[in-house]
């Protein structure tokens, strides 16, 4: 299953009311628009995630995560690949920092592995795990690069999964403890933090579809997991602010403009439904403490989610910034499919359609959707700063005879999306930074090492040698000049 083959959102179809703060979104700036130009002080960066790059899966007291376990199941990962070694960034982080610096980048979005900090998800911090992220932080700061860690990028401690995983609301308390540890350990040097990466993706594909860790296929467990994750947002946010109220804490949401398949009322209504379930289910709930109406049967919603009195306050978090991941658009149509939850029927969706160019992963290339979804999310999140925390494409071209990687299609992908982003900023969307996915080729979940998203080529078969691709050199010039051309 494709990484993005999941429930997605509809674009501005009138199905969602604006959240507090939306009316104060920034107005369109004055002046002539020049395509592909960015404001002074714009933050350029690149992104990775712990399980996808670190390796060292049994070193220095690290515990077993659900992905360490899941990759061992026959047939789950292409070619039987694992993240046991990945890019070996646990040992080669200094090389990775040097790559960022060579590309003139000023921000590194990475994730911390919960199992390096608490092997089983509970108890005191593992000093060796803290030391690794402390050394990485210091190396970034010395290079003039902002650390932007994400606390959870899908690698739940296996022991917590054995106790019920994300459908068990106690996991939210465990996450808050972990957040407290990280704020105390690194909050003196790191100001900006993200709580979660793509809550929609890991809950749906992990607990409903079963294609990712932990591999469960239970729609009711999925809905309970979404509520626990929302509780964990609020509880983790409050825990970190209690340590240091000056910390700037956000979270990352994967979003996609979804287009009704036809002009029929049924398809339009289906798109509105998907907007609520996919775009708003996490961000609206976290910002307001209330779920979008019209997804679950109203008389059974609390029962399905496992909501208890006071949860509206517990899960609310006035996030300081919003992380947005965008890759492509989605089409939706009314299908009335049984969901496995009594009283809930679902639309149908597809992520690649029409005669648009595709990436090597088969995803539609649709820069207009980047602009569209940013305007849509601005209506939801208001004047909170936005950071693009992921955007990129898989192209699997390798080195030529001279060792160079001429990935011209990736350059075209980035230019199209960055030009769309520059227009969105001109039109008032408060985006302050952009992180390319990814800094380097890495373990791409169920696709193993078959899909290469990196600005840097990693030779996994020959000593992990890193080579900046043509796209990385091009992106470095964008970061240096603040323009795409």
Instruction: Tell me the C-alpha distance between 196 and 467, whole Å.
Output: 30
Q: With 0-12 CB in 10 A as exposed, 13-18 as middle and 19+ as buried, what is 463?
A: exposed
Active-site entry in 54, 161, 387, 390: 390
Instruction: Tell me the C-alpha distance between 231 and 199, whole Å.
Output: 12
At 348, is the secondary structure helix, strand, or coil? strand
Instruction: Tell me the C-alpha distance between 267 and 355, whole Å.
Output: 21
Q: Where are the beta strands (DSSP E) in 294-379?
A: 321-325, 330-338, 345-350
Q: Please, are residues 175 and 153 in contact by the beta-carbon 8 Å criterion?
A: no
At 456, is the secondary structure helix, strand, or coil? strand
* Beta-sheet pairing, 386-390 with 330-338: unpaired
Look up 198 and say whether it is catalytic.
Answer: yes
Q: What is the DSSP string of 430-454?
A: -EEEEEEE-SS----GGGTTS----
Strand partners, 386: 322, 431
At 54, is the secondary structure helix, strand, or coil? coil
Active-site entry in 161, 198, 387, 444: 198
Look up 390 and say whether it is catalytic.
Answer: yes
Residue environment code for 72-93, b if the CB has 16+ CB neighbours within 10 A, otherwise e: eeeebbeeebbbeebbbbbebb
- CB neighbourhood size of 221 (10 A): 21
Instruction: Tell me the C-alpha distance between 246 and 266, whole Å.
Output: 47
Q: With 0-12 CB in 10 A as exposed, 13-18 as middle and 19+ as buried, what is 461?
A: exposed
Sequence-separated (6 or more) residues with CB below 8 Å from residue 351:
2, 4, 5, 8, 256, 328, 329, 330, 363, 364
Instruction: Tell me the C-alpha distance between 307 and 424, whole Å.
Output: 37
The residues annotated as belonging to the active site are 198, 390
């Amino acid at each position: 299953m494709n990484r993005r083959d999941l429930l997605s959102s509809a674009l501005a179809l009138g199905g969602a009311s604006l959240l507090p703060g939306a009316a104060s979104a920034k107005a369109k700036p004055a002046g002539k628009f020049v395509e592909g130009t960015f404001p002074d002080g714009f933050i350029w960066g690149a992104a990775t995630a712990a399980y996808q790059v670190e390796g060292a899966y049994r070193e220095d007291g690290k515990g077993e995560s659900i992905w360490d376990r899941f990759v061992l199941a026959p047939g789950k990962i292409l070619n039987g690949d694992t993240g046991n070694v990945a890019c070996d960034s646990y040992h080669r982080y200094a090389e990775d920092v040097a790559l960022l610096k060579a590309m003139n980048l000023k921000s590194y979005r990475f994730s911390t592995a919960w199992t390096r900090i608490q092997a089983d998800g509970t108890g005191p911090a593992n000093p060796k795990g803290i030391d690794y992220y402390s050394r990485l932080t210091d190396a970034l700061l010395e290079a003039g690069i902002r650390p932007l860690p994400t606390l959870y990028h899908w690698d739940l401690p296996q022991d917590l999964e054995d106790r019920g995983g994300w459908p068990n609301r106690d996991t939210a308390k465990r996450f808050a403890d972990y957040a407290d540890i990280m704020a105390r350990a690194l909050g003196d040097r790191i100001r900006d933090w993200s709580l979660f990466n793509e809550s929609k993706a890991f809950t749906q594909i992990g607990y409903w579809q079963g294609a990712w860790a932990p591999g469960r296929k239970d729609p009711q467990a999925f809905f309970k997991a979404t509520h626990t994750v929302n509780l964990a947002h609020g509880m983790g946010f409050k825990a970190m602010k209690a340590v240091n109220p000056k910390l700037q804490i956000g979270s990352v949401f994967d979003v996609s403009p979804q287009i009704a398949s036809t002009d029929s009322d049924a398809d339009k209504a289906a798109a509105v439904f998907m907007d609520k379930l996919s775009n708003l289910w996490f961000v609206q709930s976290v910002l307001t403490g209330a779920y979008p109406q019209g997804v679950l049967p109203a008389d059974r919603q609390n029962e399905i989610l496992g909501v208890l009195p006071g949860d509206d306050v517990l899960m609310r978090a006035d996030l300081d910034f919003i992380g947005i991941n965008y890759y492509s658009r989605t089409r939706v149509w009314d299908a009335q499919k049984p969901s496995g939850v009594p009283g809930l029927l679902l639309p149908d969706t597809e992520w690649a359609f029409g005669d648009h160019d595709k990436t090597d992963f088969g995803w539609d290339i649709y820069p207009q959707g980047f602009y569209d979804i940013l305007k849509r999310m601005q209506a939801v999140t208001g004047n909170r700063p936005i950071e693009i925390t992921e955007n990129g494409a898989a192209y699997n071209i390798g080195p030529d005879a001279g060792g160079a990687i001429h990935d011209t299609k990736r350059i075209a992908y980035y230019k199209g999306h960055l030009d769309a982003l520059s227009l969105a900023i001109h039109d008032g969307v408060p985006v302050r930074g952009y992180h390319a996915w990814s800094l380097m080729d890495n373990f791409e979940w169920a696709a193993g090492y078959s899909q290469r998203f990196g600005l840097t080529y990693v030779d996994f078969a020959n000593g992990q040698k890193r080579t900046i691709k043509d796209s990385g050199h091009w992106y470095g010039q964008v970061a240096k000049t603040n323009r795409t051309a």
